Every structure is written in structure tokens, then in C-alpha cells.
Structure 1
Amino acid sequence: MQVVGTQVIPSHGGKSGFTVEFVSDGGEVVSVQMKGADDLNRQNAIDKAKALMGEFASAEAQEGGEMRVRESARVSKAEQELEAQLDRGLEDTFPASDPVSVTSPSIAGDGVKH
């Protein structure tokens, strides 16, 4: 496998961190999401993401090849986690989550039918 592209995506302008996506020649995409830190910026995000992937790979090898995996709430159907994720999503999109006001167009007419 060969990496043919990378993309650095800032979260909240980089204040909340960055997501680095590595794209392989086969079309697979690996994303590394990193929380914001004082020394993390757009220029060094790729190098830090590579180092983080290396740490994960070496941790897996040290633990006998198995890592603990936590299923997402959608897979495990953990209702409380789904509710918490929904609440966080609604908070993140608060201004856009206000209900839209609906108005009905009115057509003026003389009321007389011929």
C-alpha cells in the first residue's frame, strides 16, 4: 500500500484540533483525529498523525496483536450513548437547529366568481 494523498482538516479553525486523512493508492482512507494542543498546528499535524499511528501499531504488537475495540453507539445500540451523541450534535449546530418560521403566501383576489 502506498499513500497517494493527505489532507489536513482543522476543527473549529484548528482550535479544537485537526483531522488528518491519508489516502492509499487503493482508495482506502485512514483518518487520525487529534485534539488541539499548544504545539499542534497545520504544519506539523501530518507528522504527529504518523507518529500516533506508529504508537497504536506498536501498542497492538506489545499486547499480543489484540486491541480493545469499543463499538460505536450505532452498532451496539447503546441508547444513552446515542442520546448523548445527538445532544452534542444539536449543541454544535444550535443556531441552525432553531425551527424555521413558516409563512403562507396570500393571493389577493376580488372574491367574485364569473
Structure 2
Amino acid sequence: MQLVGTQVIPEQGGKRGFTVEFVGAGGEVVSVQLRKDSDATLNSRNALDRAKAVMKELASFQADGDLSKGMAQPSARKAGDTEAMEEQLDEGLEDSFPASDPVSVTISSISGGKTRKH
């Protein structure tokens, strides 16, 4: 992948962390999600460096006989974890707040009624 750009996207204005996207020449996009740490040292200036460190760690990962260490966890839907799914739904609604407001539809039509011919 030939890197042509990077993008740092704040999650809830940076309160929850950042997503760093690495964009390739062929349209590939690799995203790294960084959650806010307990000592609050993550910010928009160092998010790119931390994402690079995560990518280096991932690239150097050597799968040995025990693949369970590197395997991804099943999604909340596959695991049947309704509590996690509700939490993810709430997060999604909060992240898309203005767009999540219901659409207001009004119809203004005036009844013409019967017309008389003079």
C-alpha cells in the first residue's frame, strides 16, 4: 500500500478518542480507533503517532501455534450480547445526533370545495 494521505477524526469532539485513517493510492483505507486513555494524554496532535505505533505492532505480529491470542473477538450480534448492542446503538445515535432527529413533515392543502357557476 502506497500511503497518499492520513486523516485524524475526533470522536465526539475528541472526548471519546480519535480515529486515524491511512489512505492508499489505490483507494485503500486502514482505520485505527484510539480511545481516550485514563490519563487523558491522547489528543489530535499525538493521535497520528499513536496510530502509527499500533500499525507497527500489528505489522510485527507473528502468529505462532496459538492463534487465539491474535484472533478478533466475535461481534456483539454474533455473540448475542444484547447489552453491548444497545450500548453500540446509543453511541451511534449520539454520534449522529443532528441527523437522528425525526423528520418533520407538514402538509398544507386547502380544500377547494364545490365551485358554483354563475
Would the TM-score normalized by the shorter structure come out above 0.5? yes
CA 1:103–1:113: 2 relative to 1, 3 Å? farther
Q: Which residue of 1 aligns with 2:45?
A: 43
The structure 1 residue matched to 2:88, chosen from 79, 82, 85, is 85
Deviations 1:26-74 (A, max 9, x none): 321110010124222222111110111222334x31x418421224356
CA 1:71–1:44: 2 relative to 1, 3 Å? same
Q: Which residue of 2 aligns with 1:52?
A: 54
Structure 2 unaligned blocks of 5 or more: none
1:94 & 1:27 partners in 2: Cα distance?
A: 29
1:53 & 1:87 partners in 2: Cα distance?
A: 29
2:100 & 2:108 partners in 1: Cα distance?
A: 24
Q: Tell whether 2:111 aligns with 1:111.
A: no
Which residue identity does 2:3 align to in structure 1?
A: V
CA 1:92–1:4: 2 relative to 1, 3 Å? closer
Contact 2:6 2:22 in 1 (8 A): yes
Which residue identity does 2:41 align to in structure 1?
A: D
How far apart are residue 91 of structure 1 and its match? 4.6
Normalising by structure 2, report the TM-score.
Answer: 0.68
2:2 & 2:24 partners in 1: Cα distance?
A: 5
Task: Judging by fraction of residues, say which structure has more helix.
Answer: 1
Contact 2:12 2:95 in 1 (8 A): no
Q: Which residue of 2 aligns with 1:31?
A: 31
CA 1:6–1:96: 2 relative to 1, 3 Å? closer
CA 1:26–1:71: 2 relative to 1, 3 Å? farther
